[in-house]
């Protein structure tokens, strides 16, 4: 039994060695056997190169940016609710994520103190302007159906970001978060319904506190 194994082993070894001998040229151990240089004059060789048809592909239209305007109501804490309007620009990075920058303006109404006392205003410049830089995520992409034969694409998104609010002669660091609904009228035109809470510190009425300024807007945007 053992001798049979020994024979098998020797045969295997012999086969392997002969294999090595055959392939040794591959590893450059063997003699250099370069093919002889072609003796034909260059004029007689048929040029195998076929001239390629160079097709320039038309560029694909990328529509990742979305620009739009919005209007709605903003409730400024202690200062009543007033109209708000603004513009925004979004860039869609993936089907889920988008970044957005928006600028808005509203006007402060009267505090109850100002109304009741009838005295001078707490401050003169009643405009509130804000900007913010946000990151949004389309959590619930979907479709809505209008009647029997129409379907529109929609997105329900969550959005949050940072920015600044200029109010009562002061810039205030502002955090905002909220949710929105994007209704795609066509593949390039969208209607937005947005709800946000803008939080900033305010000491206008004496003690410093975090104010919640709720905003609800409707907007139209165009992809480009």
Partner 1 sequence: MSEPSTTTILSTSRSKLSVWCVCLVALLAFAPGHAEAADEVLRKVAVADPYLEMHTGPGRGYPIFHIVDRGEQVEILMQRTYWYQVRTERGIEGWVDQDQMELTLNPDGTAVEFRRATLEDFTNAKWEAGILAGDFGGANIVSLYGGYSINPHVSVELWGSQILGNFSNGWMGSVNVVHETWPDWRFSPFFTLGAGVIHTSPKSTIIQGDDRTDEVGHVGAGLRIYASRRFLFRVEYKSYVVFTSRDENEEVEEWKAGFAFFF
Q: The tokens of 67 are what?
A: 């620009």
Closest distance between partner 1 and the C-beta of residue 103, in Å?
13
Residue 86 β-bridge partners: 70, 104
Residue 96 β-bridge partners: none
Nearer to partner 1, 190 or 217 (CB): 190
Closest distance between partner 1 and the C-beta of residue 13, in Å?
46
Closest distance between partner 1 and the C-beta of residue 97, in Å?
7
Q: Taking a C-beta distance cutoff of 8 angstroms, is the pair 57, 179 a contact?
A: no
Residues of this chain that bind partner 1 (CB under 8 A):
53, 55, 57-64, 91-97, 99, 133, 135, 138, 141-143, 151, 153, 161-164, 169-173, 184, 187, 203, 223
Q: Which residues contact 162 (CB under 8 A, 6 or more apart)?
A: 132, 133, 134, 173, 174, 175, 176
Nearer to partner 1, 85 or 156 (CB): 156
Nearer to partner 1, 72 or 165 (CB): 165
Residue 141 β-bridge partners: 155
Nearer to partner 1, 82 or 114 (CB): 114
Nearer to partner 1, 113 or 173 (CB): 173
Q: Quote the distance between the C-alpha of residue 15 and its chain's center.
A: 62
Closest distance between partner 1 and the C-beta of residue 10, in Å?
51
Question: In b/e form, how buried is each residue of 150-160, taking b as 16+ CB within 10 angstroms?
Answer: eeeebbebebb
Q: The tokens of 116 are what?
A: 């009741």
Closest distance between partner 1 and the C-beta of residue 138, in Å?
7
Closest distance between partner 1 and the C-beta of residue 90, in Å?
12
Nearer to partner 1, 72 or 190 (CB): 190
């Amino acid at each position: 039994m053992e001798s049979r194994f020994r024979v098998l082993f020797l045969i295997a070894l012999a086969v392997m060695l002969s294999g090595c001998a055959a392939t040794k040229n591959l590893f450059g151990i063997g003699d250099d056997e370069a093919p002889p240089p072609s003796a034909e004059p260059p004029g007689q060789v048929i040029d195998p190169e076929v001239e390629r048809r160079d097709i320039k592909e038309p560029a694909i239209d990328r529509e990742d940016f979305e620009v739009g305007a919005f209007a709605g109501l903003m409730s400024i804490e202690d200062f009543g609710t007033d109209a708000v309007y603004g513009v925004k620009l979004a860039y869609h990075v993936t089907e889920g994520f988008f970044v957005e920058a928006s600028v808005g303006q509203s006007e402060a109404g009267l505090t109850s103190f100002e109304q009741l006392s009838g005295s001078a205003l707490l401050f003169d410049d009643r405009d509130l302007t804000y900007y913010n830089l946000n990151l949004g995520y389309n959590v619930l992409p979907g479709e809505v159906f209008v009647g029997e034969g129409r379907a529109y694409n929609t997105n329900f998104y969550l959005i949050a970001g940072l920015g600044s609010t200029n109010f009562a002669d002061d810039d205030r660091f502002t955090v905002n978060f909220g949710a929105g609904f994007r209704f795609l009228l066509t593949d390039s035109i969208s209607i937005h319904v947005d709800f946000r809470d803008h939080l900033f510190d305010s000491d206008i009425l004496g003690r410093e506190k975090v104010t919640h300024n709720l905003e609800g807007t409707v907007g139209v945007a165009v992809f480009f």
